[in-house]
Each structure stands twice: as C-alpha cells, then as structure tokens.
Chains A and B, each alone.
Chain A
C-alpha cells in the first residue's frame, strides 16, 4: 500500500507569510494528488487536484506542484481565512490515502 507522509504537522505563520506544506508518497503516484482545506466543524474543501490544477473559485494564492513522490502546497501571502488544517490525498480508482494533515496556526 502507498503511504502518504505530510509535513510539518503544525506550522505557525503570520498574515502575509508564504507557507509551504509537503506531501511525500512511498512510491511514485504520478500526479494523482489532491489538496484539501478543512476548518473546525466543517467538511473538507477541495483546493487542488491532479497535483497542480486549482479548483474553480479557489484564490490564486493557493498553488500545488510536484509529481512522482514529492508534492507541495504553497500559500502565498497567508490571509486570516487560511488558518485551517490542510490534507493531501493520493487517489486512484480503487482507493484513497490521506496524509496526516498540517495545521496552519497563527504565530
């Protein structure tokens, strides 16, 4: 089974900062990776699919990159609304594997 390792688990940052979250796969997954944002008490919200394709309506400060085994989610100029937990997901036709999550908190 493919394992997804997300880092860091917690990230302290200030409004306006550039933030990078990493997700590593235990073997190559091509570009079958999505990123989600989740706020307390709410369902996850899709940000990025196919490693770097932004979902419609997602602010342009969110971007995804990578392929194979290493992927990043970058948030440029962090906004107050961005403090949340972020998850990566490896998906295929048969299953899904989430990373452990990264909590982005206010410094």
Chain B
C-alpha cells in the first residue's frame, strides 16, 4: 500500500524560505518519479515539479523555476521541496504524488504553506 506523508508546512513571511518533506513507504521509492502539486485556497490544482528516480533529472513549472528546488534521497525514501523567496501567491496546500507513466498516481494528504506578513 503506497503511503505518502508530507510535512514541513507552516506560516512564513514573504521572501523567506521553507523546506517541505514527503516520506514514502509501501513501494520501491528509488524506482519511481515523484511530483509536487499545489492548490491555493479555494482554487484549482497546479503542477509544481517532478524529480525522477535517478535523483538528477528534474523539471519545474515556470511559476517556481529559479526559486524552488525539488530533490530526493532514495536511501531515506524521502522527497523534498526547498522553497526560497516565497511570495504570497505561493500560499497553498502542497501535495506529493508518485509518478506512474508520467501521471501523478498516488497522492499524500498535503501540507499547508501560508505566506503572509
């Protein structure tokens, strides 16, 4: 049974940094790509980034490129999202999801990030 648990969310001031974590279990983490997807309060879903199994190949949405860094440590079964230079518009629930054939397949329950002064 795939289990994904996000953590690290909270309230942070604009311009500051935050790192999210996603602990994975129930599957061979090192064999799958992993996504971050976010959802602003009352809004739709927005794809953020993907990191493939090799710990090297990564892609980002234009809205976060240069500010956010996705990474993973396969030996720890953990995915990360380092978020720098945070903006009010980055306020959202952040979900991690396992990739199957390019599709975010299994999702965690999400962690809320609030950027506010």
A residues adjacent to B (C-beta < 8 A): 1, 32, 34, 36, 38, 42-46, 49-50, 55, 87, 89, 91-101
Q: Mark B51-80, 1 if CB is under 8 A from A, else 0.
A: 000000001011000000000000000000
The secondary structure that dominates the B interface is strand
Q: Select one of A43, A55, A97 contacting B109, CB under 8 A.
A: A43
Enumerate chain B residues within 8 angstroms of A49, measured Cβ to Cβ.
100-101, 103, 105
Q: Select one of B61, B95, B103, B110 contacting A91, CB under 8 A.
A: B103
Q: Select one of B62, B101, B110 contacting A43, CB under 8 A.
A: B110
Q: Select one of A42, A87, A93, A95 contacting B45, CB under 8 A.
A: A87
Measured between alpha carbons, how far is A92 from B101 in the docked complex, in Å? 9
Measured between alpha carbons, how far is A75 from B101 in the docked complex, in Å? 24
Q: Give chain B nearest CB distance to A25 CB in angstroms.
A: 15
B residues adjacent to A (C-beta < 8 A): 35, 37, 44-47, 50, 59, 61-62, 95, 100-110
Please name 13 further chain A to chain B contacts, defined as beta carbons within 8 Å, in addition to the given A46-B106, A94-B50, A95-B61, sorted by A numbering. A38-B45, A43-B95, A43-B107, A46-B103, A49-B101, A89-B45, A91-B103, A91-B104, A93-B59, A94-B59, A95-B47, A96-B47, A100-B44
List the 7 closest A-B pairs by CB distance, nearest first: A96-B47, A43-B107, A98-B45, A91-B102, A101-B44, A94-B59, A49-B103
Measured between alpha carbons, how far is A53 from B63 in the docked complex, in Å? 31
Q: Give chain A nearest CB distance to B111 CB in angstroms.
A: 11
B103 touches A44 (CB 8 A): no
Enumerate chain B residues within 8 angstroms of A100, measured Cβ to Cβ.
44
Q: Give chain B nearest CB distance to A97 CB in angstroms.
A: 7
Q: Give chain B nearest CB distance to A90 CB in angstroms.
A: 10
Q: Can you list 20 contacts pairing A with B, beta carbon distance less than 8 Å?
A: A1-B62, A42-B109, A44-B45, A44-B95, A44-B104, A44-B107, A45-B107, A49-B100, A49-B103, A50-B101, A55-B105, A89-B47, A93-B59, A93-B102, A95-B47, A95-B59, A96-B35, A98-B46, A99-B44, A101-B45
Measured between alpha carbons, how far is A61 from B7 in the docked complex, in Å? 35
